[in-house]
Structure 1
Amino acid sequence: MANWDLWPVHSFVDGLVAAGVRQAVISPGSRNTPLTLAFAEQPDVQVYTHMDERSAGFFALGLARSTNAPVVLCCTSGTATANYYPAVMEAFEARVPLIVVTADRPHQLRDVGANQAVRQPGMYAGHVKWALEMPVPDGSVGIARHAAAMAGRGVAVALASPCGPVHINYPFVEPLLPPLRADLDASHRVPVPKLYRPLAGQPAAAATDRLHAALRSAERPLFVLGPQSSALLARAVAAFCDAEGIPLFADVLSQARFLDGLPSSTQIAHYDMLLLAAGDRAPLPDVVVRFGAQPTSKSLAGFFQRMPGQTQVFVVDDTEWYRDASFVATDVIAGDELSLVRRLASQPLDQGARWQDHLQLWRRADGVVRAQIEAFTEEHWFEGSAMRSLVDALPANTQLFIGNSRPIRDLDALVNPSRPPLAVFGNRGVSGIDGIVSTAFGIAAGGASHPTVLCVGDVSFYHDLNGLLAARRFEIPLTVLLIHNDGGGIFQHLSQAQRSETLEYFTTPHGLDFQEITQAYGGVFTRVGNAEELARAVRQATGEQKGLQVIEVRFGNAESAALYRKLQRLAQDAVQAVVE
């Protein structure tokens, strides 16, 4: 009897095919049965079965060399995987694109004495360009979308210059017979991203043409600009959206929020709270174009998940190692992003009149949310008010480094973009709290002609107190706004807060006073208690630009969380009246 939990393996194979795989060399075995059958039933794959794994590896190597195309090499678990190693080493040094897919026992059978269970994840170490551990298939659409996307990404990485092997370790739970491909229906079809690879670093002409055609036929287009560092790209995307009348969601780290000399008529500044407030009533786009890294907003991630399957989602990245943590991409365009935007701008769409109602709906909703935020932050003093006061007090061309947890979320959700230009930075690669202070000093050293301000929570500040030595050792000026809520304020806003009896295990109150610590490192410490005091202290510190200056503002966790919930309710009431 077929195990329907395994149907996403067909999506995995389809993802490989969509990315250009046409040959698979399979070493027969039991644990790789789901993969063997999925390859055998995929009409676009030629399957070779080779009973000796070592020979199979070199056979696949020769096949990939002769065809100049990616070839899959697939085996069962255990020692079979080790016999591929010589061919993997040769592929790495010879720059041959092999996709090595090793079947495996599930996680719970590892290191417990189970038969044929060895340590396979990462086993090829430095001889592959990328190693990936797949989740055990569970029959869900989400796992199927992940499987298709990771298959495509594996091929893209193998083909990216210089070519080389990648390793995908795929654990399976018995029974191992997947459903027949012929038994799958429409509910089992997931989007397989189509990757347009660059030519000499430039986006493929076919990719630009496809995107241009999709936008011309769109009724509800939307652009999203995630975290990225190029002011030129930010300006180009914002200008294109303004010229064409396309709504733009720009992350606070996108460099598009605080542009100089470009009044944006299409930027939806408060989309994070707007989407949270609108819920299922938010108007769904039919074409999405996304640049940059994964956006900060959790509301936007949820919005992506609600989009219908027929929505075209173009992810534009400068490399085949594209970013799509929501697994919604239908088309991936690799290559220079700025060049792509300029190509689009050279071929005007002239659809603004047709899109006017769509744009105005977003603008009205954004307007009512903005009004609620402005009134609420004027009336109440909490972290969001402090963030707005900070940004309003900064001089033009300040380098603002923003800490993780609450600071980045407050800046993204609550601060208006209409002010002098800023460059905004953050450590969002892995979104940790390590080294925040030291990174900000590095930013300051690299842009010494501009004032640099760090906004950070007390736990992150504590984690990198040693980084304060840079102020005196290297004579680097840095202004720090320290949001002090005595440990882990973010957890008051997460699901952990639902269990008040154990919340103390997350909030980590430390009781530290940072004044003497700051002074020990030669810094000046100031404590403020309202918006006016904060703004005045920031203006003075950024104007002087002398050494380390720490401005502390304190808030209570429970009180702040209650205020956020109140603001969200007010925004929800206001937005519902617009989108209904």
Structure 2
Amino acid sequence: MQINRNIFFSEALISFLASKKIRHAVLSPGSRNTPLTFAAAGNKKISTYSLIDERAAGFFASGLARSTKKPVILICTSGTAAAEYLPAVIESFFQKIPLIVITADRPAKLRGTGANQTIYQNNIYGDHVIKAWDVPQPEPDQRYARKWSGVLGELSDLIDRGLNGPVHLNLQFDKPFEPDAFTDNLAAAEIRMLKKSLRITSKSGKKLPPAYKMSSELNKKITSVFHFVIFCGPDAVKSKEDSAYIGRLADAFGAPVLCDAFSGISKQHQSRHTFHSFHLYAGNLISEIKPDIIFQFGNLPVSKAGEEILSMKGVTRVVVNREGEKRGDYGNTAIVCTADIASFAKETIRAAKNKKFSDTSYYERIHALEQAAEEAKRHSLESILFTEAEIIKTVAENCTSRNLLMIGNSMPPRDLDYISGLIRGSLNLFHNRGASGIDGIIASAAGIAAGSVSRTFLIIGDVSFFYDLTSLQIIKQNNLNLTIVLLNNGGGKIFEMLPVKRFPEMIRQYYHTPAGVNYRKLISAFDIRYDNPKSVSELTEVLGRRITGCNVIECKTSIKDTIRLRKAAEEKFSSNLIV
């Protein structure tokens, strides 16, 4: 039987991945990855997407993995194509998004010889992948097949335990690549032996939550103090059960739960202890009513106020996550607990069951601050119209519980976080806060939309939009149901809110980055519907239309209004406290 050895082993790889219930592959066109392309396209269990731009393809795959909650295959050719995946691999690593990145490569003997399109890509992603394999070019013998089986066995174990980030397979191929260009003539018995050698036996099952036992240090600490705060950063909770255990922990310790907008705690699952407006009273917590212990869940917060709370001196942070990561280097005492939320909450509540928390005034003071802060934010939002915060609130409240909402980087996540407590209804939020880059935002949202039957919404700033403009082609090509709300404040205006604003000439020349383009014309070039509302009522009307496919809504805004809104809220909050 005649075979092409590159095709044979590529088909074995893709069939194995399909057997692990992986159903999506994102392909970047190229020559060296031809065997992988044919294998993926020929597997009936795999849905494929062929995307022009490798950088966008990487982010598209990360979005697709998030909305489907399953690993996604990502395939490209050799050379700089593999390098283009790096930003998405980095984002996926820090968000723990499961990607299986497969890069085709030239044979190792060509490295360092000046051979065309040959780079050192065997470890190109460095520490930003969980595991990397550099696989030699295929040989049609059992020895090679057994080595290949070993690689697949390691990958199988990672998938079975719950793949918690990207992995990288760098596969060396020599010509020819096409299925009708045969490289070997093997007897049927030889083929059977190769396939037998490729059989994989998984060594482990699903990874169980780590067994948690409270340390004597923490036990002593929590039973000797009275004032607690719970802080839920981005991606703190993954389920209704997680939210419920956060609520039980709050009840047991009389602790307010300070929630980042991206914490994952939805409105339906919030307890009476859940607070969102701490941005205005972080200073009060630090100077007047400092807690003894902060239970910290999730990743680091979006806001400066959240960082200030976690960095309080004289406070013990109890940092809880399954990975045992420190999550922030703030110079205060940090006790890291390697546990899931349920295990930690059960053990901690049990340890404190005989302790009576008599100082209810502590909780009541923070609750009063929360109410004053929320009222101040509501007042300022109603006073200064068509700010970016009001636009975000309007879009969020027009999303149903089935819709998905992606928030870009720079100002949009900060504005959402600031007013999240005022938003009615629950949100299915997505973000690129792993590395917080402005690249690949549209492509990520396109991937999220591709994995969902419901409409996806994206709120994005003008610099991020311009940077990823060509990803509109992905949306059009795949007829995705995506509404993009473009907040155009003239480019890079977040720097008006940072300390560098003290240098206006430098800001003007080096930090403000207006693209100076007509977005209506650019968007029309992709044959995508464009709207430009001038008020909340016009925006609400546009959002209420029944639309299939993609549309872009450009809202022209001013950073000065954002600054005024926050200043007005601070002044109103101060006056509320005086009264």
TM tier relative to shorter chain: 0.5 to 0.7
Secondary structure at the aligned position of 2:475 is classed as helix
Q: 1:506 to 1:128 in 2, by over 3 A?
A: closer
Output the amino acid matched with 2:307.
A
Q: Against the structure 1 CA distance between its residues 128 and 441, is the aligned structure 2 distance closer, same or farther, given a 3 Å change threshold?
A: closer
Match of 1:546 among 529, 545, 548: 548
**Mapped contact 1:232–1:338 kept (Cα < 8 A):** no
Match of 1:470 among 467, 474, 499: 474
Aligned pair count?
A: 376
Corresponding residue number in structure 2 for 1:202:
210
Mapping for residues 403-422 of structure 1, pairs under 5 Å: 403-416=408-421, 419-422=424-427
CA RMSD of aligned residues (A): 2.9
Deviation at 1:290, TM superposition (A): 0.6
Change in CA separation of 1:322 and 1:567 when aligned onto 2, cut-off 3 Å: same
Check the 8 A contact 2:486/2:552 in 1, yes or no.
Answer: yes
Q: How does 1:241-256 map to 2 (within 5 A)?
A: 241-244=249-252, 245-256=254-265
1:272 to 269, 274, 279: 279
Question: Within 1, Cα distance between the matches of 2:402 and 2:208?
Answer: 34
**For the residues of structure 2 that align with 1:460 and 1:233, how far apart are their CA atoms?**
35
Query: How has the CA–CA distance of structure 1 residues 279 and 348 changed in structure 2, closer, same or farther, with 3 Å as cutoff?
Result: closer
Alpha-carbon separation, structure 1, partners of 2:495 and 2:401: 34
Contact 1:438 1:464 in 2 (8 A): yes
Report how far residue 389 of structure 1 moved. Answer: 1.9
Structure 2 counterpart SS, 1:249: strand
- d(CA) in 2 for partners of 1:380 and 1:332? 43
1:400 partner SS = strand
Post-superposition Cα deviations, 1:31-51, rounded to whole Å, max 9, x if no partner, equal xxxxxxxxxxxxxxxxxxxxx
Separation (CA, whole Å) in 2 of partners of 1:294 and 1:279: 18
Q: In the aligned structure 1, how far is the partner of 2:395 from the partner of 2:282?
A: 25
Q: 1:237 to 1:413 in 2, by over 3 A?
A: farther
Query: Which residue number corresponds to residue 527 of structure 2?
Result: 522
1:358 partner letter: Y
Q: Which residue in 2 is equivalent to 1:103?
A: none
Report deviation, 1:573. 3.9
What secondary structure is seen at the aligned counterpart in 2 of 1:294? coil
* Cα deviation code 1:371-425 (max 9, x no counterpart): 1111111121212222222222221232211111111011111232663221212
Contact 2:285–2:291 (CA<8 Å) still a contact in 1? Answer: no
Do 1:236 and 1:341's aligned partners in 2 also have CA atoms closer than 8 Å? no
Seen in structure 2, the aligned counterparts of structure 1 residues 242 and 222 have a Cα distance that, compared at 3 Å, is: closer
Q: Report how far residue 454 of structure 1 moved.
A: 0.8
SS at match of 1:385: helix
Structure 1 residues 569 and 534: CA distance shift in structure 2, 3 A? same
Shift of the 248–559 alpha-carbon distance from structure 1 to 2, 3 Å rule, reads closer
Match of 1:8 in 2: none
Match of 1:288 in 2: 294
> What is aligned with 1:111?
none
Q: Residues of 1 paired with 2:220 and 2:407: CA distance? A: 38
**Aligned-partner Cα distance in 2 for 1:524–1:462:** 17
1:424 to 429, 437, 459: 429
CA contact (8 A) 1:451 1:545 kept: no
Residues 496, 418 of structure 1: CA spacing in aligned structure 2 closer, same or farther, 3 A cutoff? closer
Aligned ranges 1:441-460 → 2 under 5 Å: 441-446=446-451, 448-460=452-464
1:218 to 199, 205, 225: 225
CA distance in 2, matches of 1:553, 1:352: 53
Residue 490 (structure 2) aligns with: 486
* 1:210 Cα offset (Å): 5.5
2-side partners of 1:559 and 1:349: how far apart? Answer: 49
- Separation of aligned partners in 2, 1:281 and 1:549: 48
Shift of 1:347: 6.7
- 1:570 is matched with which residue? 572
Give CA deviations for 1:108-129 in whole Å, capped at 9, x if unaligned: xxxxxxxxxxxxxxxxx99997
Matching of residue 298 in structure 1 with residue 304 in structure 2: yes
- The answer to whether the 8 Å contact 1:436/1:464 transfers is yes
* Whole-angstrom distance in 1 between the partners of 2:544 and 2:249: 34
Match of 1:394 in 2: 399
- What letter is aligned with 1:506? Y
- Aligned 1:48-447 pairs, distance under 5 A: 201-207=209-215, 211=218, 214-228=221-235, 230-232=238-240, 234-244=242-252, 245-256=254-265, 258-260=266-268, 262-275=269-282, 278=284, 280-308=286-314, 311-344=315-348, 349=353, 354-381=358-385, 382-416=387-421, 419-446=424-451
Q: Deviations over 1:517-548 (max 9, x none)?
A: 222223211111222222232233xxx35111
- Contact 1:525/1:550 (8 A) holds in 2: yes
Which whole-Å deviations, capped at 9, do the CAs of 1:326-371 have from their partners, x for residues lacking one?
2434211113333323444567747685242111111110111111
Q: Relative to 1, partners in 2 of residues 1:456 and 1:361: Cα closer, same or farther, differing over 3 Å?
A: same
2: CA distance, partners of 1:129 / 1:485: 36
Change (3 A) 1:385 1:271: same
Distance 1:477 1:324 in 2: 38
C-alpha separation in 2, matches of 1:413 and 1:351: 35
Partner Cα separation in structure 2 for residue 282 and residue 453 of structure 1: 41
User: What residue in structure 2 maps to residue 45 of structure 1?
Assistant: none
Gaps of 5+ in 1: 1-124, 131-198
Q: Percent identity?
A: 23
Partner Cα distance (1:352, 1:235) in 2: 24
SS at match of 1:480: strand
TM-score, normalised to structure 2's length?
Answer: 0.60
Q: Which moved more, 1:545-554 or 1:370-379?
A: 545-554
Deviations 1:94-153 (A, max 9, x none): xxxxxxxxxxxxxxxxxxxxxxxxxxxxxxx999979xxxxxxxxxxxxxxxxxxxxxxx
Partner AA of 1:427 in structure 2: N
- After alignment, is 318-327 or 500-509 more displaced? 318-327
1:463: Cα distance to partner? 0.7
**In structure 2, how many angstroms separate the alpha carbons of the residues matched to 1:451 and 1:349?**
46
